[in-house]
């Protein structure tokens, strides 16, 4: 099996799928890229058994075949070449020889037959979504997903398709984000939970993609295809919690504040907060917002005041500063709205104005104030 390929084209394609590789694998074969040639089309794959990515490029070749090549070694050598053609020659013992203008390099490959086969999605449902919409939906929600192995359904992003809109939800029980697109409608109502790793891969890769993504899914797997690249992942099995039930509907207290000033204040004040709870205290009265934090163990404390627009009764409420910061940094409006009902009820963060077709809601649970 021989083929000729541009070094930089190959490197770019391998780097685009290499995020699937794990630093430690149970199966040694998963430390390799799978190369498969069929009719002058080279398919490149890598897998961690849960997620598989494949991309294709055209090469000069007369023979079909497959080989698994060590990923780290191959990426390291490809990064050192300027853009010029490389000739790959694979013998019957899976020895791989790479020839360049500079010399020859030999490494041991493995039979491609040992590589796990990508799952075939049987009887799939299929929808198309603009890559920029999907990328933004993941970006707005993924940070709120959990890491608790005991609650796997919360460690992914819940996707809900229906005839009125498409909703993406992520929560870790302390914070929740609901990102809704009212400009997308699908005739078939369905829902599934995509794990965090494939969602993070898509978030990074789709920034440079300018076409629609085809999503195919059944009860156990989903695939995302754009251009010549496909990501297939196993879906999280289980029932997603009823997120609508935890969103308080009556929030009589409404605070509007400059997002940048609010973010900077929280960042400064939280340096003085308790390192376990990261608690900051918000005290709102009239047009004044007081942000304070203290760490009694070390006699540290900080207090700042901001002017704001507030409609409601005076309230004092505590939050984990890290959660508030994450949410504020994932908004892009000049002002944000904080809706509150009581010191022991969840607060809702909203952009002052939504982009066309978007409906963003972020919820954060309070922490009990002492004293």
Say which CATH number the domain at 22 has.
Answer: 3.10.150.10
Residues 16 and 79 both lie in one domain: yes
Mean pLDDT, residues 19-47: 94
Residues 39-44, mean pLDDT to the nearest whole number: 94
Task: With respect to residue 254, please indicate whether it lies within any of the assigned structural domains.
Answer: yes
Residue 121 within a domain:
no
pLDDT tens for 242-300 read: 999 999 989 999 999 999 999 999 999 999 999 999 999 999 999 999 999 999 889 99
Q: Which pLDDT score, from 0 to 100, does residue 149 have?
A: 83
Residue at a domain's end among 67, 93, 114: 114
Verify that 104 and 69 share a domain, yes or no.
yes
In a domain, 340, yes or no: yes
pLDDT tens-digit readout, 304-315: 999 999 999 999
Classify residue 274: in a domain, yes or no.
yes
User: For residue 287, is it within any domain?
Assistant: yes
Last residue of a domain, one of 80, 114, 148: 114
| Per-chain mean pLDDT for the chain | 94
| Mean local confidence (pLDDT), 70-94 | 95
93 occurs within a structural domain: yes
**How many CB atoms are located within 10 Å of the residue 44 CB?**
22
Task: Specify whether 341 is located in the same domain as 264.
Answer: yes
Residue 345's domain spans which residues? 247-364
d(CA 102, CA 108): 20
Residue 276 lies in a domain: yes
Residues 267, 337, single domain; the answer is yes
pLDDT value at position 25? 85
Last residue of a domain, one of 114, 138, 157: 114
pLDDT in tens, 193-243: 999 999 999 999 999 999 999 999 999 999 999 999 999 999 999 999 999
| Residues 213 and 302 occupy one common structural domain | no
3-state SS of 26-94 is CCHHHHEEEEEEECCEEEEEEECCCEEEEEEEECECCCCEEEEEEHHHHHHHHCCCCCCEEEEEECCCC
Residue 125 has pLDDT above 90, yes or no: yes
pLDDT in tens, 14-31: 999 999 999 888 899 999
Tell me, what's the pLDDT at 225? Answer: 97
Give the pLDDT band (50/70/90) at residue 48: very high
369 within some domain: no
The total number of structural domains in the chain stands at 3
């Amino acid at each position: 099996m021989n083929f000729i390929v541009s070094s930089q084209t190959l490197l770019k394609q391998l780097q685009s799928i290499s995020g699937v590789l794990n630093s430690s694998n149970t199966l040694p074969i998963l430390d390799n890229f799978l190369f498969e040639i069929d009719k002058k089309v080279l398919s490149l794959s890598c897998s961690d058994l849960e997620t598989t990515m494949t991309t294709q490029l055209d090469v000069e070749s007369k023979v079909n075949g497959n080989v698994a090549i060590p990923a780290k070694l191959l990426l390291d050598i490809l990064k050192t070449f300027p853009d010029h053609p490389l000739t790959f020659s694979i013998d019957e013992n899976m020895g791989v020889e790479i020839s360049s203008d500079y010399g020859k390099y030999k490494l041991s490959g493995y039979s491609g037959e040992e590589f796990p086969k990508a799952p075939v999605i049987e009887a799939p449902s299929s929808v198309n979504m603009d890559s920029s919409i999907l990328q933004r939906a993941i970006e707005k929600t993924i940070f709120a997903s959990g890491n608790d192995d005991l609650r796997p359904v919360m460690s992914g992003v819940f996707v809900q398709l229906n005839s009125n809109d498409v909703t993406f939800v992520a929560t870790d029980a302390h914070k929740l984000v609901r990102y809704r697109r009212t400009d997308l409608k699908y005739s078939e109502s369905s829902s599934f939970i995509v794990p965090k790793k494939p969602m993070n891969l898509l978030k990074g890769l789709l920034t440079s993609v300018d076409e629609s993504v085809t999503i195919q899914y059944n009860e156990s797997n989903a695939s995302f295809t754009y251009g010549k690249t496909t990501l297939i992942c196993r879906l999280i099995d289980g029932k997603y919690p009823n997120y609508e039930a935890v969103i308080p509907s009556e929030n009589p207290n409404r605070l509007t504040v400059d997002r940048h000033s609010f973010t900077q204040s929280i960042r400064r004040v939280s340096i003085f907060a308790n390192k376990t709870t990261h608690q900051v205290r918000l005290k709102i009265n009239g047009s004044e917002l007081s942000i304070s934090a203290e760490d009694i163990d070390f006699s540290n404390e900080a207090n700042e005041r901001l002017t704001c627009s507030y409609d409601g009764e005076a309230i004092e409420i505590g939050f984990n500063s890290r959660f508030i910061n994450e949410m504020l940094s994932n908004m892009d409006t000049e002002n944000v709205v904080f809706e509150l009902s009581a010191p022991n009820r969840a607060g809702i963060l909203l952009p002052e104005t939504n982009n066309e077709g978007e409906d963003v809601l972020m919820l954060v649970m309070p922490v009990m104030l002492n004293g």
